[in-house]
Amino acid sequence: MKWTTQAELSTAQSYLRRDDPAIRLRFAIETPDILVERKTFRGQVGSVAPDGLEWPVDSGRRREEGHVLVATIRRQAFDLRGLRDALQERDTWRKWELRSAPRHYEIEDAESRAKAQRKVSRHSDMYAKVGEGWDRYAWNSKSRVSMA
């Protein structure tokens, strides 16, 4: 297949998304290449490059849409099955052993546990501060009895 139309590229993308739903294929704007990109962060519309420089068109679009570049492949050299095999071989987000869950589930679980721990910590800190404030108020208003 020559991979010259957007429909052909969309078919290839849907094939790759069976393994990784965050993967994206698109034609480069500046060069005759196919870009393999992965969604990793929330984009920033109108983002400015460091030191106020202008982003190149493809880099700017990636930055605004929240993707990172995985690979750049010439259209003539694009081999879908070879790309899939290469992505699976180097993939750190998924365990390819039999009946294993993708690794990003483990990372998301760890992040949610850390978030819950921070929430509990904030709650207990606030509870302690309120208790200290009440004790200080009680002593200042002489509503506590000293055992001395």
pLDDT of residue 13 exceeding 60: yes
Cα dihedral across residues 98, 19, 69, 48: positive or negative: negative
Give residue 65's pLDDT. Answer: 77
Beta-bridged to residue 23, according to DSSP, are 38
Q: With a threshold of 0.85, does the pTM exceed it? A: no
Answer whether 15's CB lies under 8 Å from 78's CB: no
Structure tokens at 46: 């109108």
Q: What is the mean pLDDT of residues 78-107?
A: 73
- Helix 80-90 and helix 6-16, axial crossing angle in degrees, nearest 10: 30
Q: What does the alpha-carbon distance between residue 29 and residue 61 come to, in Å, rounded to a whole number?
A: 10
pLDDT tens, residue by residue, 17-47: 888 888 889 998 888 889 998 887 776 676 6
Backbone angles phi, psi at 3, to 5 degrees: 55, 55
Contacts of 25 (CB under 8 A, 6+ apart): 9, 10, 12, 13, 16, 34, 35, 36, 37
pLDDT of residue 97 exceeding 60: no
Of 31-40, 65-74, 86-95, where does mean pLDDT reach its minimum?
Answer: 86-95
Backbone angles phi, psi at 66, to 5 degrees: 80, 35
Q: What is the mean pLDDT of residues 41-67?
A: 72
Give residue 115's pLDDT. Answer: 93
